[in-house]
Chain A
Amino acid sequence: NAGVTQTPKFQVLKTGQSMTLQCAQDMNHEYMSWYRQDPGMGLRLIHYSVGAGITDQGEVPNGYNVSRSTTEDFPLRLLSAAPSQTSVYFCASSYGSGFDNSPLHFGNGTRLTVT
Chain B
Amino acid sequence: GQSLEQPSEVTAVEGAIVQINCTYQTSGFYGLSWYQQHDGGAPTFLSYNGLDGLEETGRFSSFLSRSDSYGYLLLQELQMKDSASYFCAVRGQTGNTPLVFGKGTRLSVIA
Contact = CB atoms under 8 A, between A and B. Distances in A.
B104 A42 contact: yes
A105 B33 CA distance: 13
B96 A42 contact: no
Interface stretch (A14-22, A68-76, A79-87, A106-114): A106-114
Contacts of A48: 98
A98 B98 contact: yes
A41 B100 CA distance: 12
Interface residues of A, number: 25
Nearest to B95: A99
Interface string A12-50: 000000000000000000000101000011111100100
Interface stretch (B38-46, B56-64, B71-79): B38-46
B33 A42 contact: no
A44 B88 CA distance: 13
Contacts of A107: 42
